[in-house]
Amino acid sequence: MIATGSPLRFIGLLFLCLASASVLQAQRDASIGLIPQPVHTSVLEGSVRWSDYSEVLCARSDWTTATDRLRSLFAGRADEQSAGKIIWCVFDPALDQQGSYRLHLASDSICLAARAIQGLFNGISSLRQLKALYPEKAPALVVRDHPRFVHRGMLLDCCRHFFSVDVVKKYIDLLSLFKMNVLHWHLTEDQGWRIEIEGYPRLNEQGAYRKETDGSVYGGYYSKEEIRELVRYAAERGVEIIPEIELPGHAQAAISAYPELSCRAEPVDVANDWGVFKEIYCAGNDSVFLFLENVLLEVMELFPSTFIHIGGDEAPKTRWEACAKCQRRIESEGLSDEHQLQSYFIRRIERFLREHGRQLIGWDEILEGGLAEGAIVQSWRGMEGGIEAVRSGHRAIMSPTSHAYFDYDLRSIDLEKVYSFEPVPEGLSQQERQLIIGGECNMWTEHVPDEKTLDAKVFPRLLAMSERLWSPADRRDWTEFKSRVQRMYPVLEEHQVGFGAESVPMSYQVQLGLQESRVALEAYDEKTNLHWRYTKRADQEVSVEAAPFRPYSEPIEVEDGTLSVQATREGRDFGSVQHIETRCHLAVGAEVSYSKPFSSWYTAGGPDGLVNSVLGSTDFRDGCWQGFWGIDPEITLDLRRPVRLSSVELPFYQYTNSWIFIPPRVKVAYSMDGQNWAYMGEARDATDPMKRGKFIRTLKVNKELEDVRFLRIEVKNLGKVPDAHEAAGSDAWVFLSEIIVL
Ligand code: ACM
Ligand code: ZN
């Protein structure tokens, strides 16, 4: 195989590529199946037989990483008899962006033109897909393409669960196949330290292993040798690995190895549960900064990336508030509070990274107390953090929980939802828009113990993310995209990807009238059929045999009980049976108003969600729960006619790890006219706020009353996460799913 040729030959070829593309009859923008959709595709007459090609020629010695890769894709493919045709890789200074490329497939030559090696990698990804989609011969075509954003990433959390070098390689390969160019590698956490650091061996000997509640030991870390291998492997595929070393929070594994890094310097275990932990790095102790700088020096030695991610999210300030050293730092630096202390912490690390030629990325909490000079904000709690960053002239990466959290269930983020992601919010100036450098999907792995689950969570959703970060904003076409996704499934199978479903099989809406409601089911697509049955509450209690499933045709009138739905697709079950708990009661269809608004993240679909007869499940993201963060909500119902009632029942939720607690008290008042109120009663709850697990508790207030039109529910939030909790002092959540009036 020939590696280089005479420069003259290459210049001649460049003109040939340009000329032939313009004279052939082009069918513009035909969908040939690539994901992400290229900026421009023209299908030409004729076809290309892959087996004719075995040689790669390139004049540029600085492109060998990419051309070697291309060569390996075509190695040994040429038929014995056929002359080895040539894949030309040419430099084209006229291409306008680093990542842009032009691919010309003709029966007599394949030509890949780029301005920079990134463009070449992107063109190789298109070639890989074309070879997979058209295994024998592909249509002749021209692709002219460039990315919309320079930063197209996926976060992989290898701390909550550890993934082997082979799995990480598989993901690098897949990212590259879909032109994602960043692996954001989350390497340090409360539950495990996963990167070898020679200067602090206990980080690995102790910090990399946690004792599970069943007594078993879970853990592991990547050796420097393995990390170098992965960085090289990624570079050969046009992917950059950006390491994330979390500070000042999510640091319990490091503190377990070196307790003196925390404010109290007391021994703690590597965490074996999920959540946010209050043992964080002490901000008043200079030896903590020395430790972090030494760690970062070793990190920078391993990772050549310009960007280093330092986390910065979810750092409870409880320990800092009670630490003499931290308080001294606040005083000596003239800071106003612990938020500014966090800002001081990040600025100090940012300066250190900058002195070493690197740039800092942090989660949007790094905005609190003032943003460090050159810092880039990764917006996760919505888009607001990113907006604030670009308004102050900083760059931003968008990965909001609403669209980009692949650990979330398909019920909240399905393929279509990801495909609807728009990284640039409305209302920004041209200059501000340009500061949004891209986006990421985040794969947190608390509930992803193995490769199988990982595949099913990431795919096919990654295909949608890749397209939203690459293709022009106005090229979004859901129906057309979905058909390309179908064609990509066999390709994913070839890559041993056990992809999951595109969506839950069905969604539903409640049609609401005064004291009546119907559930309208909607199947995922026209190939999906739905079957339903109702198990009435009375029947559940005496456990009679369930009714048979019947085909769904029209909205189902709500009863007291469980509506179960089974979807089928092409004759087979599609997903498992879904259950919707419903209650008939007097407040259904009432008007709901609030003294303080519910959270925009947990809305239950709006005010009607509390009076729509549908109860929440033990998945607090099922769309049925309304959340209130750190406030005592007062909710008023107008029942729209006088009623006779005897009870108000309020199903609340507890999941201590996510700071959601059963409220200690609720009070109910009633009124005939909305002006004069009387006390109906109250319910107190003695549930231990530290009781773990996910559960629902229904608080009840009973009193026989006539002619009541208005009800007011006053909920006492726990207020702060309790002292014994790992995130003590943070604002507590209250979650309510329905106001049941009987
Ligand atoms: C995050 O999800 N805590 C960044
Ligand atoms: Zn301290």
Reply yes or no on whether the pLDDT at 541 is more than 80.
Answer: no
E strands, 273-331, are: 307-311
Mean pLDDT of 428-440: 98
E strands, 550-616, are: 550-551, 556-557, 561-569, 572-582, 591-594
Reply yes or no on whether the pLDDT at 80 is more than 80.
Answer: no
Mean pLDDT of 413-424: 97
Reply yes or no on whether the pLDDT at 261 is more than 70.
Answer: yes
Q: Is 113 left (phi over 0), alpha (psi -120 to 50) or beta?
A: beta
The DSSP result for 169-202, as a single string, is: HHHHHHHHHTT--EEEEE-EETTEE-B--TT-TH
Reply yes or no on whether the pLDDT at 113 is more than 90.
Answer: yes
Q: Which atom of ligand 1 is nearest to the CA of 401?
A: 2
Q: Exposure of 32 by Cβ count < 10 A (0-12 exposed, 13-18 middle, 19+ buried)?
A: buried
Q: Residues 567, 595: one domain?
A: no
To which residue do tokens 């022009």 refer? 472
Number of the ligand closest to the Cα of 261 = 2
Q: Residues 58, 136: one domain?
A: yes
Reply yes or no on whether the pLDDT at 169 is more than 60.
Answer: yes
Query: What backbone torsions phi and psi does residue 640 show, to the nearest 5 degrees?
Result: 70, 5
The CATH number assigned to the domain holding 135 equals: 3.30.379.10
The two tokens of residue 38 are 């290229």
The CATH number assigned to the domain holding 535 equals: 2.60.40
Reply yes or no on whether the pLDDT at 173 is more than 80.
Answer: yes
pLDDT in the model for residue 11: 37
Q: Has residue 220 been placed in a domain?
A: no
- As for how many domains the chain has, the answer is 3
Note the pLDDT tens digit of each residue in 294-345: 999 999 999 999 999 999 999 999 999 999 999 999 999 999 999 999 999 9
Nearest to 288 by CA among 320, 314, 313, 318: 320
Reply yes or no on whether the pLDDT at 24 is more than 90.
Answer: no
pLDDT in the model for residue 571: 87
Name residues whose C-beta falls within 8 Å of residue 278's C-beta, 6 or more positions apart in sequence: 316, 318, 319, 725, 726, 727, 728, 729
Q: Residues 610, 554: one domain?
A: no
In testing the pocket of ligand 1, which one of 274, 401, 444 has its CB within 8 Å of the most ligand atoms? Answer: 444
Q: Residues 632, 702: one domain?
A: yes
- Cα(667)–Cα(712) distance, rounded to whole angstroms? 8
Q: Residues 670, 538: one domain?
A: no
Say what percent of the chain tops pLDDT 90: 86
- Cα(126)–Cα(704) distance, rounded to whole angstroms? 71
pLDDT in the model for residue 729: 86
Domain boundary among 99, 120, 145: 145
Three-state SS at 591: strand
Q: Residues 597, 627: one domain?
A: yes
Averaged pLDDT score across all residues of the chain = 93
pLDDT in the model for residue 543: 57
Mean pLDDT of 688-699: 95
pLDDT grade for 21, boundaries at 50, 70 and 90: very low
pLDDT in the model for residue 486: 95
Q: Per residue in 554-571, is it b (16+ CB within 10 Å) or e — as a string?
A: eebebbbbbbbbbbbbee
Q: Has residue 728 been placed in a domain?
A: yes
Which protein residues touch ligand 1 with a CB less than 6 Å away? 313-314, 363, 380
The CATH number assigned to the domain holding 628 equals: 2.60.120.260
pLDDT grade for 8, boundaries at 50, 70 and 90: very low
Q: Has residue 416 been placed in a domain?
A: no
Domain boundary among 582, 610, 634: 582
Q: Residues 620, 569: one domain?
A: no
Note the pLDDT tens digit of each residue in 348-361: 999 999 999 999 99
Domain boundary among 95, 128, 145: 145
Mean pLDDT of 580-595: 97
Q: Has residue 482 been placed in a domain?
A: no
Note the pLDDT tens digit of each residue in 470-519: 999 998 999 999 999 999 999 999 999 999 999 999 999 999 999 899 99
Q: Residues 60, 119: one domain?
A: yes
Q: Has residue 572 been placed in a domain?
A: yes
- Nearest-CA residue for ligand 1 atom 3 is 313
pLDDT grade for 78, boundaries at 50, 70 and 90: very low
- How many angstroms separate the alpha carbon of residue 163 from the centre of ligand 1? 19
Q: Has residue 467 been placed in a domain?
A: no
Three-state SS at 611: coil
Mean pLDDT of 288-292: 98
pLDDT grade for 537, boundaries at 50, 70 and 90: confident
Return the sign of the alpha-carbon dihedral for residues 527, 533, 534, 538: negative
pLDDT grade for 97, boundaries at 50, 70 and 90: confident
- How many angstroms separate the alpha carbon of residue 280 from the centre of ligand 2? 8
The two tokens of residue 656 are 């201590």
E strands, 423-491, are: 436-443
pLDDT grade for 59, boundaries at 50, 70 and 90: confident
Q: Among 157-161, 535-539, 708-712, where is mean pLDDT lowest? A: 535-539
- How many angstroms separate the alpha carbon of residue 731 from the centre of ligand 1? 17
Q: Which atom of ligand 1 is nearest to the CA of 378?
A: 4
Range of the domain at 8: 2-145
Q: Residues 622, 663: one domain?
A: yes
Residue 3, Cα to own-chain centre: how many angstroms?
42
Nearest to 344 by CA among 322, 319, 366, 363: 366
Name residues whose C-beta falls within 8 Å of residue 326's C-beta, 6 or more positions apart in sequence: 263, 282, 283, 284, 319, 320, 338, 341
Work out whether strand 137-145 and strand 40-49 pair parallel, antiparallel, or are unpaired: antiparallel
- How many angstroms separate the alpha carbon of residue 184 from the centre of ligand 1? 13
Name residues whose C-beta falls within 8 Å of residue 98's C-beta, 6 or more positions apart in sequence: 115, 116, 118, 119, 150
Q: Which atom of ligand 1 is nearest to the CA of 444?
A: 2
Mean pLDDT of 61-77: 86
pLDDT grade for 6, boundaries at 50, 70 and 90: very low
- How many angstroms separate the alpha carbon of residue 319 from the centre of ligand 2? 7
Q: Has residue 595 been placed in a domain?
A: yes
The two tokens of residue 44 are 């030409």
Reply yes or no on whether the pLDDT at 14 is more than 70.
Answer: no
Q: Residues 578, 606: one domain?
A: no
Q: Has residue 674 been placed in a domain?
A: yes
- How many angstroms separate the alpha carbon of residue 442 from the centre of ligand 1? 8
Reply yes or no on whether the pLDDT at 13 is more than 60.
Answer: no
Greater confidence (615 vs 15) lies with: 615
Query: What backbone torsions phi and psi does residue 634 show, to the nearest 5 degrees?
Result: -125, 120
Q: Residues 617, 696: one domain?
A: yes
Q: Residues 597, 729: one domain?
A: yes
